[in-house]
Structure formats: structure tokens, C-alpha cells
Amino acid sequence: MYEICPETPADEPEVEALYDLCFAPGRTALSSYRLRDGVPKVADLCLVLRADGILLAAIRFWPVRVGGRPVLLLGPIAVHPTAQGEGLGGLLMRDSLARARKLGWDRVLLVGDAPYYGRFGFARLDDVVMPPPTNPARVLGLELRPGAWVDVAGPVTRETLPAAAGISRGAKDLSACVTVDHPKEDSDADQSATGASADQ
């Protein structure tokens, strides 16, 4: 049995330790972190997954802008090395994206491997530019509303309006924890993935 909860300040040291374990040293030197510096996380969408109280996975989101439009930047997502490949990453992806839709977000951006994130509906964004150095082929987007990425293009910039981190249009209360049994879903079974690395 797994429990998924919104991340709290008390979770933060464990989540940072998990990211340090899963990513190369110096992860915060990546250009994507410059979009996050000093910007509050989208708290309702930052989730931790535990089994018997032990942190196994975490996902975070930040608000950014593209062409002046609000965009969710997904990441980092990490699953403890002892629990990878069991569907926990997919579980957090699907749960957080469903929450984002309920909260009224329209579009999501990430930097990562299309073979993995394609299974969640992400596709390359040719006209969206992450701060360098970023491989353009790894800049991927997902529409939470049909057409949400149409004509949204240009450089990705930091969010400067604090209220944007709390976009909420008729949102349900998403503060509660949920419990799930085995996360590996049949829908994953016929999807392909390369096992290549993904960015934060």
C-alpha cells in the first residue's frame, strides 16, 4: 500500500536527499533551476509517495511563463533506486497531472526523454526555448486543455507574479492524502521506453 500526500515543509529535507541520491552532483546548477530560484513551488502539485512511512518518490512543479502565458514546469521527479521500475513514477505523473487539471492549469512543460514522457502524452515543443544549455529535442509539452500549446511560443521565463503559483479555478480540495495499491497499470504495458536518462 502506498500513500501519496502533498509535500509539507517537514518533508523537504527527505525530498532533497532523495533528489541528491537520484541525480548527479551539482543538479541545482542546471539552467532549469534558474527558473525556480526564489519562486515558490506550486504547493498543491508537489507530492510525496511513501510506503510504511518511507519516502520512495517525489515530484515537484514550478510556475513559469512562455510568451506571457502561465505554464507548469514539471520536475524534478525521482523514485528511490530500490523502487524504480515498479510504476511509482507513472503513478506520481498521472496523479499530479490530474490535480493540475483540476486546479485549472492549461499546459505543462518539462525537459526529459520523449520515450518515457510520451506515455503520459508529452510531445516535443519546437517553438519553446529553455535557457541554454538545453537540448531542444528534450523540451516537451502536454496540453491539459485542447489547444493549450497552440501559438504559445518563445523563451521560458521565470514567473514574477506570486499569485500564479496558486492558480485555482474552482479547484477541489487537493490537500488530502490518497492511498493506492499496486501502481503498475496495464496502460503502461504496451508502451516503449529506452531507459535513457532524463533531465530535471
Ligand X SMILES: CC(C)(COP(=O)(O)OP(=O)(O)OC[C@H]1O[C@@H](n2cnc3c(N)ncnc32)[C@H](O)[C@@H]1OP(=O)(O)O)[C@@H](O)C(=O)NCCC(=O)NCCS
Closer CB to ligand X, 42 or 77, in the complex? 77
- With respect to ligand X, which residue has the nearer C-beta, 86 or 143? 86
Task: Please report how close the Cβ of residue 108 comes to ligand X at its closest, in angstroms.
Answer: 12
Task: Please check whether residue 108 is in contact with residue 97, taking contact to mean a CB–CB distance below 8 angstroms.
Answer: yes
Q: How far is the CB of 173 from ligand X (least distance, A)?
A: 27
Q: Which is nearer to ligand X, 85 or 147 (CB)?
A: 85
Rg value, the chain, Cα: 16
Query: In sequence order, what DSSP letters do the residues of the chain get, joined into one string?
Result: -EEEEE--GGGHHHHHHHHHHHS-TTGGGSHHHHTTTT----GGG-EEEEETTEEEEEEEEEEEEETTEEEEEEEEEEE-GGGTTSSHHHHHHHHHHHHHHHHT--EEEEES-HHHHGGGT-EE-TTEEPSSS--GGGEEEEESSTTTTTT--EEEEE---GGGGG--SS-----S-EEES----GGGTT----------
Minimum distance of ligand X from residue 91's CB (angstroms) = 7
Which residues of the chain form contacts with ligand X (CB under 6 A)? Answer: 22-23, 75-79, 84-90, 112-113, 115-116, 188, 191-200
Q: State in angstroms the smallest separation of the CB of 146 from ligand X.
A: 25
Rounded CA-CA distance 141/149 in Å is: 8
Instruction: State in angstroms the smallest separation of the CB of 165 from ligand X.
Output: 19
Q: How far is the CB of 188 from ligand X (least distance, A)?
A: 5
Looking at beta carbons only, is 49 or 174 nearer to ligand X? 49
Identify which of residues 17 and 147 has a Cβ nearer to ligand X in the complex.
17
Decide whether 152 or 198 has the Cβ nearer to ligand X: 198
Q: Tell me which residue has its CB nearest to ligand X.
A: 89
